[in-house]
Amino acid sequence: NTLRRPVVAGNWKMNGNKALASEMSQAFDNQHFNNVEVIVCPPFPLLTQLSKESVKVGAQNISKFDSGAHTGEVSADILKDAGCEYVIVGHSERRVDNFESNGLVADKVDIALKNGLHPILCIGEPEDVRDAGDLFDFLSAQLNAVVSKVGIDAFAQLTIAYEPIWAIGTGKTASPEQAQEVHGFIRDFLATRNKEVAQKIRILYGGSVKADNATELFSQPDVDGGLIGGASLDPQSFISICRSAA
């Protein structure tokens, strides 16, 4: 798709160390991916260890506050100072482990945008919601919370990651058809509010993407790349997935 630059983002979750950060930076030095944007999102202490010449750097979370007395939190300013351009917001693991509501996720998108960071907004349904036929209502509620907070025009600065919860870390990936169906729905949802934004926004698929299934998923018309968990920890697998998006 000529309108949208493909993007592959690696989410290390609570994995990795300084050695992996330098291994990853070295592996990506002098790699060219034909226009694919590569982002690595390691744990906070490793953000400054990743070479920004090789990859772009993103955080996995952001505080909803600007600064001050919020022990354990990390602000947009601190993230930018550490070299971040991107931040993952609303990952399903944070929605579950840290009780992040749609409202809190919207607040975090808002503060990221106000500070010039690009949010990677994660949405996705649990398996029982899909089985009950409530998939599109569930995703609409997740999207609506953010639209009402920041407005549709601000989505020009966002990347969306569709991550069905049943596919994350399970080895059970969505089929390319299932991914396309939802990505098409997300783009239509946005298009009824702002056509231009809907055409330009990158929508990533996440959920057990590996080197051997990436090409098929990324070839779907509304799949603009991927958010990669487990397979982003191995430099060679991650490089191969990045190539698949070209």
Binding-site members for substrate are: 11-13, 169, 208, 229-230
Residues 148-167 that bind ligand PEP (CB under 6 A): 163
Nearer to ligand PEP, 179 or 228 (CB): 228
Question: For 143, left (φ over 0), alpha (ψ -120 to 50), or beta?
Answer: alpha
Nearer to ligand PEP, 182 or 209 (CB): 209
* CB atoms inside a 10 Å sphere around CB 215: 15
Q: What is the spatial distance between Cα 202 and Cα 225, in angstroms, rounded to a whole number?
A: 8
Q: Identify the residue among 89, 174, 228, 241 touching ligand PEP (CB under 6 A).
A: 228
Query: What is the nearest approach in angstroms of ligand PEP to the Cβ of residue 92?
Result: 8
- Please tell me whether residue 209 binds ligand PEP under the rule CB under 6 A: yes
152: helix, strand or coil: helix
Query: What is the nearest approach in angstroms of ligand PEP to the Cβ of residue 168?
Result: 4
Cβ proximity of 39 and 241 under 8 Å: no
* CB atoms inside a 10 Å sphere around CB 149: 17
Of 37, 91, 100, 183, the catalytic one is 91
Q: Identify the residue among 6, 10, 124, 230 touching ligand PEP (CB under 6 A).
A: 230
Which span (21-29, 73-81, 132-140, 221-229) binds ligand PEP, by CB under 6 A? 221-229
Angle between helices 176-191 and 135-150 (to 10 degrees): 40
- Please tell me whether residue 119 binds ligand PEP under the rule CB under 6 A: no
Tokens of 9: 């983002």
- Please tell me whether residue 201 binds ligand PEP under the rule CB under 6 A: no
Q: Which residues pair with 8 in a beta bridge?
A: 38, 226
Q: Is 163 one of the catalytic residues?
A: yes
- Please tell me whether residue 207 binds ligand PEP under the rule CB under 6 A: yes
> Mind giving me the DSSP string for 66-91?
-SSS-TT---HHHHHHTTEEEEEES-
- Please tell me whether residue 214 binds ligand PEP under the rule CB under 6 A: no
Q: Identify the residue among 11, 63, 75, 180 touching ligand PEP (CB under 6 A).
A: 11
Q: Is 93 one of the catalytic residues?
A: no
Cβ proximity of 193 and 147 under 8 Å: yes
- Quote the longest CA-to-CA distance of the chain: 48
Q: Identify the residue among 103, 116, 169, 221 touching ligand PEP (CB under 6 A).
A: 169
Which span (55-63, 106-114, 185-193, 224-232) binds ligand PEP, by CB under 6 A? 224-232
Which span (104-112, 131-139, 151-159, 226-234) binds ligand PEP, by CB under 6 A? 226-234
> Mind giving me the DSSP string for 4-47?
S--EEEEE--S---HHHHHHHHHHHTT---TT-EEEEE--GGGG
Contact footprint for ligand PEP (CB under 6 A): 11, 13, 163, 168-169, 206-209, 227-231
Active site residues: 91, 163
